[in-house]
Amino acid sequence: MTKTIQTDVLIIGSGPAGYTAAIYAARANLKPHLVSGLEPGGQLTITTDVENYPGFGDVIQGPWLMEQMKEQAVKVGTEFHHDIVNSVKFDDKPFLAETDSGITFNSKTIIIATGAQARWLNLESENKFKGFGISACATCDGFFFKDQNIIVVGGGNSAVEEALYLTNFASKVTLIHRRDKLRAEKILQERLFNHPKIEIIWDHTVEEFLGTEEPLSLNKVKLKNTKDNNEKIIDATGAFIAIGHDPSTSLFKDKIKMDNENYIVTKSDSTETNVKGVFAAGDVKDKVFRQAVTAAGMGCMAALEAEKYIAENYEPCLSCILGVFLLIT
């Protein structure tokens, strides 16, 4: 069943950027529509403790924060669609977007807030044991590895945070990093180094995941030294991959300007893309800060810029109308 919806603002994707854009657009009486995508709420829905989002004296939970943002967006007038956008057309105006359920949006502006997805090692054995010992989400699956030896692969904030979180369940957590120093924030590194359950193996990469066939289950990991190429096998019944994220921008390939890592490029101090009327906010364009608060800020910017764009390009100019009226009379 097909359906066409006319709107001033279409927001593709949720999370802090999408929800904040929806709140601001709705408060501007733009009656925004938001298509949530496969992971409503974004990365924060798989995050537990959040202690760096302003306004909360106590630690809050990521999923709860996303629920509150969505509830606020709904209350001020956002219409939500639990759907997936399959195609977009930016050649003509209004812009077109078609969803998996058959909805066609004709929108004056589009705000892209599709976020980023976990990056994998792309090993054949990794694909084999995904869901059978290998995961990219500690908060989703950590509980299943109680009192087990597990590894975390990576060296940035995400890897360190996941390693620390997993100590709540595992008997031992080993962080595997390909270099001799971490990229994570110093305060996180300090917590990591001081934790009695955590061991670090420097200058190593994962070569292969090993385990049983029946039942399919991970039990060992083969590592390779990046300096002398020596290999060794360690015991591990769980492995969490935390080596970064890739922006969810495949939908917009060849339709909008991106950098060499496929992050959307916007103008300086703006969320406007190279296509006028199309804006990008959050992790889909930010590979530096990647914080909930910065994503929310960009969502606000995108909505305000969309409002200004509509006012300048679609709404009648009252002073112009008055001038014409005076000229006629």
Model pLDDT for residues 311-325, shown as the tens digit of each residue: 999 866 554 555 555
Q: What is the mean pLDDT of residues 257-268?
A: 96
Within 10 Å of residue 299's Cβ, how many Cβ atoms? 30
Q: Which pLDDT does position 50 carry in this prediction?
A: 80
Confidence band for 199, pLDDT divided at 50, 70 and 90: very high
Active site residue 140: yes
Average pLDDT over residues 176-192: 96
Q: What is the pLDDT of residue 316?
A: 64
Q: Is the pTM above the cut of 0.95?
A: no
What confidence tier does 141 reach under pLDDT thresholds 50, 70, 90? Answer: confident
Of 141, 283, 286, 300, which one is the catalytic site residue?
141
* C-alpha span between 248 and 42 (Å, rounded): 11
Mind listing the domains of the chain with CATH numbers?
A: 3-117+245-320 (3.50.50.60), 120-241 (3.50.50.60)
% of the chain exceeding 90 in pLDDT: 80
pLDDT higher than 90, residue 51: no
Under the banding of pLDDT at 50, 70 and 90, the label for residue 240 is very high
Q: Output the pLDDT for position 71.
A: 97
**235/307 Cα distance (integer angstroms):** 56
**Of 8, 49, 100, 137, catalytic:** 137
**How many Å apart are CA 61 and CA 50, to the nearest integer?**
6
Residues 6+ apart with CB under 8 A from 271: 111, 279, 280, 281, 285, 298, 301, 302, 305
Q: Considering only the C-alpha atoms of the chain, give the largest distance between any 2 of them, rounded to a whole number of Å.
A: 90
With cut-offs at 50, 70 and 90, classify the pLDDT of residue 296.
Answer: very high
Digit-coded pLDDT (tens) for 92-108: 999 999 999 999 999 99
**Span of 56-65, 233-242, 264-273, 302-311 with lowest mean pLDDT:** 56-65
- What is the Cα–Cα distance from 274 to 292, expressed in whole angstroms? 25
Identity at 272, one-letter amino acid code = E
What separation in angstroms does the CA of 327 have from each of 320, 321, 322, 324? 11, 10, 9, 5
**Residue 142 vs residues 95, 172, 216, 269, 299: alpha-carbon distances, Å:** 42, 12, 18, 39, 31
Is 317 part of the annotated catalytic residue set? Answer: no
Q: Please tell me which residue, 195 or 141, carries the higher pLDDT value.
A: 195
pLDDT surpasses 90 at 158:
no
Pick 143 or 207 by higher pLDDT: 207
- Quickly state the pLDDT bin for 45 (edges 50, 70, 90): confident
- pLDDT score of 118: 80
Is 320 considered catalytic here?
no
Return the pLDDT at 283.
93
Angle between helices 186-194 and 157-166 (to 10 degrees): 30
pLDDT at position 131: 84
Vertex 245: Cα angle to 285 and 275 (nearest 5): 20
Instruction: Work out the average pLDDT over 254-280.
Output: 97
Catalytic member of 49, 140, 180, 259: 140
Mean pLDDT of the chain: 92
